[in-house]
Structure formats: C-alpha cells, structure tokens
Amino acid sequence: MLRTGMAIPSTTLESHLIGSARQYAAELIEAFTAACFDGEPSAEISARASATFDTYCGGILNGLLSALSPAGGVEIDWLRGHYLPIVIQFATAMRDSIADPINRHAAAQAIQCKILEHERHLRTVLDAHTVPHARSAGL
C-alpha cells in the first residue's frame, strides 16, 4: 500500500496520479502476459520483463514529474515517497503474472536489478530537479 503521510497539495491530484499509474501498469501487464507463450525461454521472458519494467518506470516518472509544480518541494517529497512503492507494486504484479515458476524466478531476478537502477535514476532526476530551484531561491 502507498504511504499517505506525505503531502501533495491536492488529494484529488494524488488519487488521479496513483490511479493513472495503476491503469498504465494493468495495460502493460496485460500486453506482457499476452505475449508470453508456453515453452518460452527464461532469458526471453526476463528480457521482455526488464524492457516492460523500463517502459513503465520511465512513463510514470515522466508523468509524475510533469504533473508536479516545478518549484514544489512538497511535491518532490511526495514523489520521492511514492515512486518506489508504485514501482514495486508493478514489479510484483508483473512477476506474479508469469505462470511458470522457473521463468517467474528468472524474471524476478532481472526485475530486482531494474528496481535498483530506477531507484538510483530517481535520485539523480530529483537531485537535478531540486538544485536549479534552490539556486533560484538564493540557497
């Protein structure tokens, strides 16, 4: 479940952002599972899972950043606190959509690496996003 202790100016906006992320996740997982077939090699499933995960993370990060106020420290804190739980929800659902236990395990390992990559990318993006605003505020 997503933490709700962090503030974003509008609960309507928060609901919309999280709902949009979940809808996007459902669409990608549906497409991912539709492309799976019996006997598909683990390496191919893992590669597709990684690519799908990259697509999801890039899409929601861009969407969330564009929805937030450019000078809003509160919004950046909100994004910092909600992005990873949203991503982990997606990763778990995608992993669970793979029926074969061997393929599921292989994909889970690939996804775990991707989670770390995207967590690091989030820090880089947010650091770059907050530095110009601190300079413009005279900090």
**For all residues of the chain together, what is the average pLDDT?**
85
CA 66-52-81 angle, 5° bins: 45
Helix/strand/coil for 139: coil
The CA distance from 72 to 116, in Å, is: 26
Q: Which two tokens stand for residue 63?
A: 């969407």
| pLDDT at residue 139, rounded to an integer | 47
| pLDDT at residue 48, rounded to an integer | 96
Is the pLDDT confidence value at 132 over 60?
Answer: no
Is the pLDDT confidence value at 7 over 90?
Answer: no
Q: Which two tokens stand for residue 38?
A: 């019996």
Q: Which two tokens stand for residue 2?
A: 């997503």
The CA distance from 112 to 109, in Å, is: 5
Is the pLDDT confidence value at 138 over 80?
Answer: no
| pLDDT at residue 1, rounded to an integer | 34
| pLDDT at residue 3, rounded to an integer | 38
| Crossing angle for the helix pair 11-35 and 42-67, to the nearest 10 degrees | 160
Mean pLDDT, residues 95-112: 95
| pLDDT at residue 131, rounded to an integer | 57
| Tens-place pLDDT, residues 50-86 | 999 999 999 999 988 887 766 566 678 888 889 999 9
Render 32-78 in DSSP notation, one character per residue: HHHH--TT--HHHHHHHHHHHHHHHHHHHHHHHHHHS-TT-HHHHHH
| pTM of the predicted protein model | 0.82
Q: Which of 18-27, 118-127, 130-139 has the lowest mean pLDDT?
A: 130-139
